[in-house]
Chains A and B, each alone.
Chain A
Amino acid sequence: MLPGVTADQRLFAETAERFIRSTCPVSTVRRVAQQEVQLDVGYFTEIGELGWLALFVPEEHGGGSPSGHPVLDAGLIAEQRGRYLQPGGVVGSNVAALAITLGGTGEQRALLDDLAGGKALAAWALGDPVGGWEASAGVEVRRDGAGFVLSGTKGLVQDAHLAGWFLISAAVDGRPALFLLPGDAPGLSVEPLAGLDLTHRYAEVVLRDVAVPASAVVGQIGDGDLGERLLQVATVLTVAEMVGAIGALFAMTLEHARSRAAFGRVIGSFQAVKHQLADLSLAVECSHAIATGALTAVQEQAPDAGELASAAKAFVGDAAIDVSQGCLQLHGGIGYTWEHDLHLYLRRLATDRVVFGDPAWHRERICRLHGL
């Protein structure tokens, strides 16, 4: 957990963990992944009641955060969600709520009550199908009278199949813009993708000449700061989920090394294994540290928030692969089985690494943020 958490935050995180363990533990996540059961939609209203979706919503719409630091509170939830591979696009829904809170019209704000309570979920369609995460990626916007026509494809939208609303990033005359569209907007379709991660599902959001009124714009066209803020929040919350997953995967592996015997001793007594575990734990601690710094900077809207968020994604994205690979290695044959939970983590981490920008994309962004 983050150093410096308050008692309220601790309680919030502990309550979240208790809820997950009793309602949606990894064994349940697995059964959903294997399509033996459907995810109970009640899950979302329950997490709505727990406040996970209300953190960026103002009080008059049923929102609020325990510590008054919504990014940090959301980070604590994200960490728990990552540890237990929780389903649902909570990051996307929170970011959409933040967008509406910061820039939504009166009509759009009416949606906040449902988003805060988990009665409606929103997804953020930012990237294109081939790894671009600029606002303009994948979508073209044509002006049509007072309104707009959107066409193109957004890719890798997390749990789009659960979303009733889409926040769509695009560019109008080369200037960044955000649109809020209902899932049933004519011409908008969600096309599910097959993929590596079994715990989230991803989809393309295809826009075929979708006619959009001016009232669907969130914030001002050309307000790059709003999009930047959303990217920072989405990035650090994704990083926080990854840190939770990395920590759980490492703990599982350490436990395995302590109990698995070979050559008359536990494998965790061999220096070759100990040294690998030490290196992996360094990656875990570094990930935790940089995530903490990035969450804090984004919370404070510090001048270096964008840079730290990107550095965190770049570092943790790479560490996720190293830790996944190292943990699989130390498990030996059992780690290569479907039945073992290890691959659920490995799959999710390799995917989260890409969502909202892979390390290479964030590294290039760091250069640009520094004017290089």
Chain B
Amino acid sequence: MSGQAAEGQAAGGQAADGQATGRQTADGRTAGGQATGGQTAGGQTAGRQAAGRQAAGGQTAGEATGPGLDGYRREVRAWLAANLDPRDDDAPARLRGGDAANLSPERVAQQRDLQRRIYEGGYAGITWPAEFGGQGLTPAHEEVFAQESRGYVVADLGIAGLTTTRVCGPTILAHGTDEFRRTHIPRMLSGEEIWVQLFSEPGAGSDLAGVSTRATRTDADDWVLNGSKVWTSGAYYADYGLCLARTDPTVPKHRGLTWFGVPLTSDGVTIRPIREINGSSEFCEEFFDDVVVSDANRIGAVGDGWTVARTMMVFERLGGDPDEAPRHAGARELAPDLVALARRVGRQGDPVTRQLIARAHVIDVVKEQLDAYVAAQAESGTANPNLGSYSKLAAGTLNPVRASIGLEIAAAAGVAWHPQDTEASTTALNYLNGRILAIAGGTNEMQRNGISERILGLPREPAHDLDRPFNELRHN
């Protein structure tokens, strides 16, 4: 995971298609995203290059060019050389799984410092509005920075770094008050505030509008929060949570919701890591016991939470697969993790193994091409905002296939290894992590609902929960 906070606003400020009364259809969920994190090399493809190529419709892309960009590129180069360390390409990727995967407080502090350096250099939030601490430049500028910084060590704030800049930040930019944005957006960009997604609850996941964490008004016109959230990626080292709460249980469920930015250091907040199937404890559960939240921390109007949620879900889907950030500027490699694996088990000449390796490679290529294609359509401005569901569903259906291919190539070596051989354990780890994007950030089924209803225009599911007050519905 490269976690370049500077990559910022993937969705380019597009709000979701307006209706406030979405059903439990396209409900995406958390970008929980780190996909196949353990995959030392996953699809480290030339995705951005391909995006440029498609968008340019026949012009060679390679490097972003355009008026003013050459000068910008020179500035970026000089700044990077003077301020950041070059990256050691042979350094092992950080694995997602096992106890060691969790970020220590020291590491988080280091990464915050590094992010601050990038922010102060003027390279965080490159496309974000200048009045809120961004640079107000174009996606082409951002692309220049991404290309040039590939050879350097940039800040990696882990999964919560991504939820901060890909989901929480853009959602707040779209719906926060000026005051809130002026306070928090610069801190998000500088690494001072790490934000996580407090969406899912024990009783409501896909059915996001079914959350029951309660926010009630105090006499002082602030709010008191009671309830619990779960599966919150990275909460153990985060500062704030973007929290969806129920402010009115007596109206139909989509109408009684409101968003809050909740400081996780507040009295009454308890955070407990949850151990995942891969042995690490990246996601957490949180309990809110009479937590007081200032009304200044409300995001969007009271009762209008579903409008904000719709925006958030578009960002969440476009947030995509963090492991796909290309690590090399050069050519696409042939499934490097699997080629290395095949060599290790001596099967690189076996025709069946070669077919499997190429299958995985085709998966990497088609995901890269689909993302570029969806991005090119989004840039045209007239595209259906739900197209991101295709990228999400592609990752959710193809990542598990790719992970299984590793297991198939490794055979015996994939399921048992010498205790010290961490390299050998990555195949199993990838297998365990293969379905993350099939569930986190909106399950495959929810993407299929969204695609069939909002893109293909098929009839919506019959709903039993739209018109009755929330407190009269069956829920967990």
Which residues of A are in contact with B by a Cβ distance under 8 Å? 2-6, 67, 69, 72, 254, 257-258, 265-266, 268-269, 271, 274-275, 277-279, 281-282, 285-286, 288-290, 292-293, 296-297, 299-300, 302-304, 307-308, 311, 314-315, 360, 362-364, 366-367, 370, 372
Query: Once the chains bind, are B370 and A3 in contact (CB under 8 Å)?
Result: no
Query: Once the chains bind, are A269 and B393 in contact (CB under 8 Å)?
Result: no
Complex interface: chain B residues within 8 A of A314 (CB): 358-359, 362
Query: Pick the contact of B58 from A67, A266, A278, A372 — CB < 8 Å?
Result: A67
Query: Once the chains bind, are B366 and A278 in contact (CB under 8 Å)?
Result: no
A367 to B335, CA, bound (A): 10
A279 to B453, CA, bound (A): 13
Given contacts A257-B458, A297-B53, A363-B362, contact A307 B332 (CB under 8 A): yes
With an 8 A cutoff between CB atoms, is B452 at the interface? yes
Stretch in B256-264, B272-280, B371-379 touching the partner: B371-379
Query: Once the chains bind, are A258 and B458 in contact (CB under 8 Å)?
Result: yes
Q: Given A302-B60, A362-B358, 14 more contacts at CB 8 Å?
A: A4-B376, A278-B448, A279-B393, A281-B455, A282-B397, A285-B373, A286-B366, A290-B366, A292-B373, A296-B57, A302-B53, A307-B332, A363-B355, A363-B358
With an 8 A cutoff between CB atoms, is B390 at the interface? yes
**Min CB distance, B55 to chain A, in Å?**
7
Query: Once the chains bind, are B354 and A285 in contact (CB under 8 Å)?
Result: no
Complex interface: chain B residues within 8 A of A288 (CB): 373
A230 to B2, CA, bound (A): 39
Query: Once the chains bind, are B393 and A282 in contact (CB under 8 Å)?
Result: yes
**Min CB distance, B453 to chain A, in Å?**
7
Query: Pick the contact of A367 from B46, B56, B357 — CB < 8 Å?
Result: B357
Main secondary structure of the interface of B (DSSP, over half): helix
Complex interface: chain A residues within 8 A of B373 (CB): 3, 285, 288-289, 292-293
Which single residue of chain A is at the shortest CB-CB distance from B376? A3
Query: Once the chains bind, are A278 and B359 in contact (CB under 8 Å)?
Result: no
18 contacts between A and B (CB under 8 A): A3-B57, A4-B54, A268-B459, A274-B456, A277-B456, A281-B455, A281-B456, A282-B390, A293-B369, A296-B58, A300-B53, A302-B53, A314-B358, A314-B362, A360-B355, A364-B351, A367-B357, A367-B358
Which residues of B are in contact with A by a Cβ distance under 8 Å? 46, 50, 53-58, 60, 331-334, 339, 348, 351, 354-355, 357-359, 361-362, 365-366, 369-370, 372-374, 376-377, 380, 390, 393-394, 397, 445, 447-449, 451-453, 455-456, 458-459, 461
Which single residue of chain B is at the shortest CB-CB distance from A279? B448
Query: Pick the contact of B54 from A3, A6, A311, A363 — CB < 8 Å?
Result: A3
Query: Once the chains bind, are B459 and A269 in contact (CB under 8 Å)?
Result: yes
A266 to B458, CA, bound (A): 9
Query: Pick the contact of B361 from A2, A6, A311 — CB < 8 Å?
Result: A311
Query: Once the chains bind, are A372 and B458 in contact (CB under 8 Å)?
Result: no
